[in-house]
Amino acid sequence: MGYKDVYESWKADPETFWMAQAEAIDWVKTPSKALFDKGDDLYEWFADGQVNTCWNAVDRHVEQGRGDQLAIIHDSPITGTVHKITYAELQTRVASLAGALRAKGIEKGDRVIIYMPMVPEALEAMLACARLGAIHSVVFGGFAANELAVRIDDATPKAIIAASCGLEPGRVVHYKPLLDGAIEIATHKPDFTVIFQREQEVAHLDEGRDFDWHGFQYGVEPAECVPVEGNHPAYILYTSGTTGQPKGVVRHTAGHLVALNWSMKNIYQVNPGETFWAASDVGWVVGHSYICYGPLIHGNTTIVFEGKPVGTPDAGTFWRVIEEHDVKSFFTAPTAFRAVKRDDPKGEFVAKYDISGLRAIYLAGERADPDTIEWAQKVTGKPIYDHWWQTETGWTIAGNPAGIEPMPVKIGSPTVAMPGYDVQILDEAGHPVAPNTLGAIAVKLPLPPGTLPTLWNAEARFRKSYLTTFPGYYETGDAGMMDEDGYLYIMARTDDVINVAGHRLSTGAMEEVLASHPDVAECAVIGVTDQLKGQLPMGFVCLTTGVNRPHDEIVRECVTLVREKIGPVAAFKLCAVVDRLPKTRSGKILRATMVKIADSEDFKLPATIDDPAILDEIRVALQGLGYAKG
């Protein structure tokens, strides 16, 4: 069957389609049906089944004779080590960790926050939670204590599992002091923490609250897999919205298993036993779906890579890892390739390695610019497949179904909708538009298995964010168009979310931080184009009347404040003091116009602008920051 047949077979009978895919999963109790319509636009998948994610990701492979196959390869060019773990070893390690967590009171439904760098123990912690039916929430290491505290208060975890430190090139990230700081800031306090002590930095443990990863496993009974309902939350993953309060995306257990398992072959073209590599971080959705769960559920070997595309030690790192571990399918963000291209424009490093085993390269996380795709195609000689999805969906909305049938690549398009997604382009009134017409990208409900059923403890926000603008549809927050062949083009966000090096960030959250500076009366943060990272945040602050301190001093404080409150990942370094912000007569800040000026793009003067002269002041400020030069 080709892609069109598969897509049509899903559309004609989604129930049969998904029940057939569910057969690839080991159920404790087989679900009676796929879709559970709860009414009022809420849906669940395989809700009355009983299943365990860890069993499907680990134990069943051992039972089926894959015990000696590698499950995880930890490749860390930062520490210069490679560590391999078989499925049998993984089973022992996860069962022991889960047993120790259980002995400290962790049960099905309890939340556990995981704050760890790219070490295999991060995956083991996730799997140990899954083994017990505990709901994990992994927090990215590049966030500051304050962001961690916000997540602690929202998820109210019974335990936090962390490492003593993370390793960025040339810098040790002190996780434990960040964790201590977060627990102090948070209103909710966990019962205990578990600290994985890395040899690069051993952390101080608070007696009675902090337990050593190895020590607390001593003498405990290993835990068996606890069956959970199909609609039991597997995890919560926080992502940026329009405000400083992140959205807690909930993932239900059964749909997650079914959808990820389907995607490994049909999208990523790997067979069980082969090595798959997603060069992302466990703190992001790509890390959840394609470093941890997808490859393991499907019986692949996954790579946990602790390094950067360049500088660890050079722009050949990706190709070295692909050769050394015989990677068949590789997933990264366009920004990573832009970094490699900058250091190795001719692809000389590629020629030093044998990457003949690699079938294809997959890009996601941000718009894949044609230059980058063409460069990657040229230097690797491999198909480069852009695909589009979000934290909310957990897997591809539109991609190249290469494992079913490779579709011709149209550069600039992530290709076509995957089975399960009825993607439509809508005008402001919610009517489908003609091909090649720009509109809001929406997905007709229900969303497929594996996507978010709701937000953690925030159903009203879930409805408001995704379901109310276009009744009967899920609003993706992206704008774009579809051509007459069904190829999608993703053009921009319709909200204030920006994408910096493939990291999704909220300008609203940064504005909240800037507004908290005592000298700042008003502010705006916009996302401007950056050659390497796609976008960079840029802040404009207006000072409180009477403040006459040097502007560069205030700018420095603003930059430090965002780094302290949100974290280094915000990459907030561009900021200027201005007298006034451009606004409409009703007082709305004209952020989109500011972006256009920064990027030297043509724009129409908004008819509702209050005082056009302010735009000249903004242009001068932008030029001072190296923008608006065109």
Residues in touch with ligand AMP (CB under 6 A): 239, 285, 364-368, 386-388, 390-391, 414, 476-478, 490, 493, 499, 504
Q: Which is nearer to ligand COA, 211 or 572 (CB)?
A: 572
**Residue 344 interacts with, from ligand AMP, ligand COA, none (CB under 5-8 Å by kind):** none
Helix ranges, 53-196 (H): 53-54, 60-61, 87-103, 120-132, 145-155, 175-185
CB of 367 to ligand AMP, least distance (A): 4
What is the spatial distance between Cα 238 and Cα 113, in angstroms, rounded to a whole number? 11
**From the list ligand COA, ligand AMP, none, which binds 490 (C-beta under 5 to 8 Å, kind-based)?**
ligand AMP
Partner whose footprint covers residue 280, from ligand COA, ligand AMP, none (CB < 5 to 8 Å by kind): ligand COA
Q: Which is nearer to ligand COA, 228 or 525 (CB)?
A: 525
Q: How far is the CB of 466 from ligand AMP (least distance, A)?
A: 12
Distance CA 82, CA 559 (A): 37
Going 106 to 107 to 110 to 113, the CA torsion angle's sign is: positive
Residue with Cβ nearer ligand COA (156 or 197): 197
499 binds, among ligand AMP, ligand COA, none (CB under 5 to 8 A by kind): ligand AMP
Q: Name which of 143 and 474 has its Cβ closer to ligand COA.
A: 143
Q: CB under 5 to 8 A by kind: which of ligand AMP, ligand COA, none does 256 bind?
A: none
Amino acid at 472: G
Token pair of 344 as six digits: 């190795």
**Residue 493 binding target from ligand COA, ligand AMP, none, CB below 5 to 8 Å by type:** ligand AMP
Assigned token pair, 49: 């089944």
Helix (H, G, I), strand (E, B) or coil at 129: helix
- What H or E segment, with its residue span, contains residue 192? strand 192-196
Which contiguous run of DSSP H or E holds residue 416?
Answer: strand 416-417
CB nearer ligand COA, residue 166 or residue 527: 166
Comparison of 73 and 259: residue with beta carbon closer to ligand AMP: 259
Comparing CB distances to ligand AMP, the nearer of 266 and 476 is 476
What's the min distance (Å) between Cβ of 452 and ligand AMP?
A: 11
| 507 contact choice in ligand AMP, ligand COA, none (CB below 5 to 8 Å, kind-dependent) | none
DSSP codes joined into one string, 438-467:
-EEEEEESSPPTTS-S-BTT-HHHHIIIII
Residue 532 binds which one of ligand COA, ligand AMP, none, with CB within 5 to 8 A depending on kind? ligand COA
| Interacting residue ranges for ligand COA, rule: CB under 6 A | 117, 141-142, 166, 168, 173, 280-281, 284, 286, 308-310, 333, 335-336, 339, 365, 500-503, 532-533, 568-569, 571
**Minimum separation from the CB atom of position 310 to ligand COA (A):** 6
Closer residue to ligand AMP, CB minimum distance, 211 or 489: 489
Beta carbon nearer to ligand COA, 66 or 387: 387
Min. distance of Cβ 457 from ligand AMP in angstroms?
A: 20
DSSP secondary structure letter of residue 468: S
3-state DSSP percent of the chain in helix, strand and coil, to 5: 30, 25, 40
Distance CA 367, CA 382 (A): 19
**Residue 105 to residue 526: CA distance in whole angstroms:** 45
Q: How far is the CB of 485 from ligand AMP (least distance, A)?
A: 18
Please name the residue that has the structure tokens 């490859």: 295
Whether the CB-CB separation of 168 and 80 falls below 8 Å is answered with no
Q: Is 192 in contact with 209 (CB distance < 8 Å)? A: yes
Within 13 Å of residue 506, how many CA atoms lie on the same side as its CB?
20
CB of 340 to ligand COA, least distance (A): 8
Q: Which does 306 bind (CB under 5 to 8 A by kind): ligand AMP, ligand COA, none?
A: none
Q: What letter would DSSP give residue 216?
A: G
* 34 vs 125, beta carbon nearer ligand COA: 125
User: Least distance in Å: CB of 264 to ligand AMP?
Assistant: 18
Task: Output the smallest distance, CB 22 to ligand COA, in A.
Answer: 28
Tell the smallest beta-carbon distance from residue 140 to ligand COA (Å).
Answer: 6
Nearer to ligand COA, 286 or 482 (CB): 286
Among ligand COA, ligand AMP, none, the one that 414 touches (CB under a kind-dependent 5 to 8 A) is ligand AMP
Q: Which residues of 552-587 are buried (b: 16+ CB within 10 A; e: fewer)?
A: eebbebbbebbbebbbbbbbbebbbbbeebbbeeee
78/169 Cα distance (integer angstroms):
7
Comparing CB distances to ligand AMP, the nearer of 210 and 496 is 496
Which two three-digit tokens encode residue 383?
């198909």
Are the C-beta atoms of residues 622 and 597 closer than 8 Å to each other? yes
Provide the CA 98 distance to its chain's centre, in angstroms: 25
Residue nearer to ligand AMP on the CB measure, 164 or 329: 329
Which among ligand COA, ligand AMP, none contacts residue 53 (Cβ within 5 to 8 A by kind)?
A: none
Residue 19 CB neighbour total at 10 angstroms: 18
- Tell the smallest beta-carbon distance from residue 501 to ligand COA (Å): 4
What is the rounded CA–CA span in Å between residue 248 and residue 103?
28
Nearest distance from C-beta of residue 563 to ligand COA, angstroms: 7
**Upper half-sphere CA count for residue 226 (Cβ side, 13 Å):** 21
Q: Which is nearer to ligand COA, 158 or 533 (CB)?
A: 533
> What is 280-317 written as a DSSP string?
S-TTSHHHIIIIIIHHHHTT-EEEEE-S-SSSSS-TTH
We find the least distance from the C-beta atom of residue 612 to ligand COA, in angstroms, to be: 35
Cβ 347 vs Cβ 370: under 8 Å: no
CB of 336 to ligand COA, least distance (A): 4
Q: Which does 404 bind (CB under 5 to 8 A by kind): ligand AMP, ligand COA, none?
A: none
User: Residue 96: which of ligand COA, ligand AMP, none does it interact with, CB under 5 to 8 A by kind?
Assistant: none
Q: What letter does residue 62 receive in the DSSP assignment? A: I
Measure the CA angle with vertex 91, ends 89 and 93; round to 5°: 70
Yes or no: say if 282 and 137 are a contact pair by the CB < 8 Å rule.
no
Cα three-residue angle 12-268-277, rounded to 5 degrees? 150
Identify which of residues 300 and 400 has a Cβ nearer to ligand AMP in the complex.
400
Residue 142, binding choice from ligand AMP, ligand COA, none, Cβ under 5 to 8 Å by partner class: ligand COA
Which of the listed partners (ligand AMP, ligand COA, none) does 448 bind, with a CB threshold of 5 to 8 Å by partner kind? none
H/E element, 44: strand 42-45
Q: How far is the CB of 386 from ligand AMP (least distance, A)?
A: 5
